Amino acid sequence: MNPLLRLALEAGPLGIFFYCNAKFGIFTATGVFMAATVVALAANWLLERRLPVMPLVSGFFVMVFGGLTLLLQDELFIKMKPTIVNTLFAVILFGGLAFGRSLLKPLFGAAFQLTDAGWRVLTFRWAGFFVFLAVVNEVVWRNFDTDTWVDFKVFAIMPITIVFTLSQMPLILRHQLPEDRPAA
C-alpha cells in the first residue's frame, strides 16, 4: 500500500476527531471518530485483504470506549481509551518477553530481519514506549481541559511516535541480519 494512503488511513480518523471536536464538541467528535475508524478499517481490508493488528485492536477500543462515552454522555471513557490500549500493548509485549518471545517479530519480520537479541531489545523498547504513552495520556487528561487533551492527542502523540520510531533505526541497523543489510 502507498505509504501516504497508509498514513491517511491511520491518522485520518484522528484528524477528523480533532476537527469535529473544535467545531461540534467532544460527543459529536467521538461519534464521527468511531465512524471514521470503521471506514478506515474497511478501506484497509478492501485494499489489502487484511487488517493490521494494532489499528484493529485500537479500533475495537474506539468502538467500546466511544460507545460508552456516547451512551453515558461522559467524556471520561474516550479519554481513558489511549491509556488502556497502550497499557494493553505494553503488557502483551512485556509478557511475550517474559515467556521468551519477541512479539514484534511476527508483526514486522517480513519488513526486516533482525538477530534474536535485536528483536528482544526492540520489543522491550516498544513496550516501554507504550507505558510512557499511557502515563503521558493519564497526566494530560487528568490535568488539562478536553480541548487541550484532544490537541495533545492529535499534535503531540504522532510526532513523538515518529521520533521514537526513527530513534530505533540505529538498533535495527546494528542487529540486521547480514543478508538484509544494505550494500555499502
Q: What is the pLDDT along the chain (184 residues), one digit of tens a residue?
A: 787 888 888 889 999 999 999 999 999 999 999 999 999 999 999 999 988 888 898 899 999 999 999 999 999 999 999 999 999 999 999 999 999 999 999 988 778 899 999 999 999 999 999 999 999 999 999 999 999 999 999 899 989 999 999 999 999 999 999 875 555 5
Q: Which of 174, 162, 154 is nearest to 36 (CA)?
A: 154
Residue 126 has what pLDDT? Answer: 98
Residue 181 has what pLDDT? Answer: 57
Residue 180 has what pLDDT? Answer: 53
* φ/ψ of residue 176, rounded to 5: -65, 140
Q: Cell 526513527 appears where?
A: 166
Cα-to-chain-centroid distance, residue 72: 25
| Within a domain: 184 | no
| Predicted TM-score (pTM) of this structure | 0.86
Residue 121 has what pLDDT? Answer: 98
Domain residue limits at 48:
3-178
| Within a domain: 183 | no
| Within a domain: 45 | yes
| Within a domain: 18 | yes
pLDDT in tens, 131-161: 999 999 999 999 999 999 999 998 999 899 9
Residue 182 has what pLDDT? Answer: 58
**Three-state secondary-structure class, residue 102:** coil
On whether the CB atoms of residues 91 and 74 are closer than 8 A, the answer is: no
- Total domains in the chain come to 1
C-alpha 105/C-alpha 170 separation (Å) is: 17
Q: Which of 36, 149, 137, 146 is nearest to 84 (CA)?
A: 137
